[in-house]
Structure 1
Amino acid sequence: MEFQGKVAFVTGAVTGIGLGIAQALGLAGMKLALAYRNEAHKEQAAAWFATQGLEAPLFVKLDVADRDQWVVAADAAEAHFGKIHVLVNNAGVSVFGPTDEASYADFDWIMGVNFGGCVNGQVTMIPRIKRHGEGGHIVNVASMAAFISGPQAGIYTASKFAVRGMTECLRYNLAPYGIGVSLMCPGLTRTNAWDSALKRPAEFSDSGFAPADRAELEQFGTGFDLGMDPFEVGEKTLAGMRANKGLILTHPEHGEDIREIYETTMAALPEGDVPEGRLHIERLRREANRAAAAGAKIGLGDLT
């Protein structure tokens, strides 16, 4: 779809990747509702749009894990702009620690923001985008952790795998409505995401991880300083939206990882004869997926 003049709602939008995406969308002529939590960061973001001579965004305060706040924010955006065409679910927390030591509070917080925030955005916004019938686009920002696991990122990785699976399926569901869906998986980006553990809400304080050590986190954060500029990530995201790509990858350095995942997966497939009945079911599934991607509505009856 043509995005100029359309309205985008972006979460986590006043710093980092969210701001980079918002800047790219604004420069492409979109009207913006930007969700935020930090007042100082909001003012800095507002100043950037003013210096560019762009229309001032509507800023809405939002905790993406709070469903009631989502309704208030969506109502405000619709009241201001009339309708919403694009949803970018970007807000998230980056918290690390050994998965075997994690508490329920660790899981509830990280999954509630990273996966639950996307769920809340979709449930709130998709009916509104369908209602005006002009089409639109959903971008769920995950991470290369949606493909790559590691010993310090179990819950974070689980949340990003969940976002990946949900987004890939949602693309089939929304194609009949002219609503594109993209999973955007950035790699290392120059953001302040490393300090998430220092902002842990009190209701999730019962952590199984060691207490956050600011000096250790600041050292970890030096790696983020080497990352891609968030605006470049935003430009690549916009290009992927324009091409209606189901998967948007922004960092070329992960080819080795993707190749290893592919080769390991193929090597795990056993050899052997497959009964015709099972082959038939898998053919039906593939055909249904292709039809859904082309805009057909698929029911359970199409799978057997």
Structure 2
Amino acid sequence: MADKQWLQDGKWAGRVAFITGAVTGIGLGVAQAFADAGMRLALSYRNEDDKARTAEWFAEKGYEQPLFAKLDVTDRERFAEVAQQVVDHFGEVHVLVNNAGVSVFGPTDEASYDDYDWIMGVNFGGVVNGLVSFLPKIKASEGRRHVVNVASMAAFLPGPQAGIYTASKFAVRGLTESLRYNLAPHGIGCSLCCPALTRTNAWASATKRPDSFKDSGFAPTREGELEQFGTAFEEGMDPYEVGTKILAGMTEQKGLILTHPEHGPDFEEMHEKIMAALPDEEAPAGRLKIEQLRRDAMKAAEEGLVVQLDDLT
């Protein structure tokens, strides 16, 4: 378990956070860690029973009840309504955690348009909708502010059954790593979080497929297949621990928050493959200059300067 000293340091006390997919799994773990740090919360949910259990946890702790907002993260109109509702209720909003997602797998060569539209629509489109709805309101607020986009280790590590899921997480990774440079001049932190195996029911996402995306190219799962797959999640990290690591990463202003230590061999192999793929030849001076300008611009942006296109040539 991560050192929880910073839970009591008061740096986030009183800050208002909105978390999507926040009444189960990692979202709930984040909400609980934030509540322990004294933050005020607005939480999106889909299931009334999960909402009730979450409200009961807050009541048992003696914490302020969150503002609960029923939300399908693909619904842009509703997302905008929720963002305004949060500001109307709390006065400001300081932290956005885009967490909601679906874990759906199948061979990519058999995928249908509905498979792509559903998985990308939730996992990437939901993040986009959160940013468009909440960033203007976070920019208008004051003090310590932060955006966390929760992706997955799939943002780095592809798999044979996870093509669309992996694509959605790669997209969140690329978006977040670029967004960090845009938010720095506004004094807003930005983190990409890539959890690995966590003790959640994410494996059951395929059973919650909307009728509007019913035409899947994936073969129906065999009886008991999903449940067997779900047993792997029992070995996962406690969602609350993921939440505390996200909060610690925010406090330390980390651009990348990796919660699980077991992927060192994967990253070492990835680094070796990338370096081996580089051509063993000299680059011309003009290209070297342009790439150095890019590196300098990235450092300047991270330090809070606004980078224009002119800075890149």
3-state secondary structure, aligned to 1:162: helix
Partner of 2:159: 150
Aligned pairs (5 A) from 1:1-304: 2-213=11-222, 215-304=224-313
Contact 2:198/2:239 (CA < 8 Å) preserved in 1?
Answer: yes
3-state secondary structure, aligned to 1:238: helix
**Length-normalised TM-score, structure 1:** 0.99
Task: Give the RMSD, CA atoms, in angstroms.
Answer: 1.0
- The 2-side partners of 1:213 and 1:74 are apart by 41
Pair 294,214 (structure 1): closer, same or farther in 2 beyond 3 Å: farther
Q: Give me the identity figure in percent.
A: 66
| 1:71 shift after superposition | 1.0
Contact 2:31/2:243 (CA < 8 Å) preserved in 1?
Answer: yes
Contact 2:29/2:242 (CA < 8 Å) preserved in 1?
Answer: yes
Contact 1:5/1:31 (CA < 8 Å) preserved in 2?
Answer: yes
Contact 2:94/2:142 (CA < 8 Å) preserved in 1?
Answer: no
Write out the 4+ residue segments of structure 1 that deviate beyond 3 Å after TM superposition.
none
3-state secondary structure, aligned to 1:225: helix
Letter aligned with residue 248 of structure 2: A
Deviations 1:246-277 (A, max 9, x none): 00000000111111111111110111111100
Gaps of 5+ in 2: 1-9
3-state secondary structure, aligned to 2:149: strand
| 1:61 shift after superposition | 0.4
| 1:300 shift after superposition | 0.3
- The 1-side partners of 2:283 and 2:196 are apart by 39
**Length-normalised TM-score, structure 2:** 0.96
Contact 2:120/2:168 (CA < 8 Å) preserved in 1?
Answer: yes
Gaps of 5+ in 1: none
| 1:141 shift after superposition | 0.2
Letter aligned with residue 190 of structure 1: R
Contact 1:135/1:177 (CA < 8 Å) preserved in 2?
Answer: no
Contact 2:153/2:194 (CA < 8 Å) preserved in 1?
Answer: yes
3-state secondary structure, aligned to 2:28: helix
Contact 1:9/1:34 (CA < 8 Å) preserved in 2?
Answer: yes
- The 1-side partners of 2:110 and 2:130 are apart by 30
Letter aligned with residue 297 of structure 1: V
- The 2-side partners of 1:49 and 1:252 are apart by 30
Pair 65,214 (structure 1): closer, same or farther in 2 beyond 3 Å: farther
Give the length in aligned residue pairs.
304
Deviations 1:277-304 (A, max 9, x none): 0000000000000000000000100000
Letter aligned with residue 189 of structure 2: G
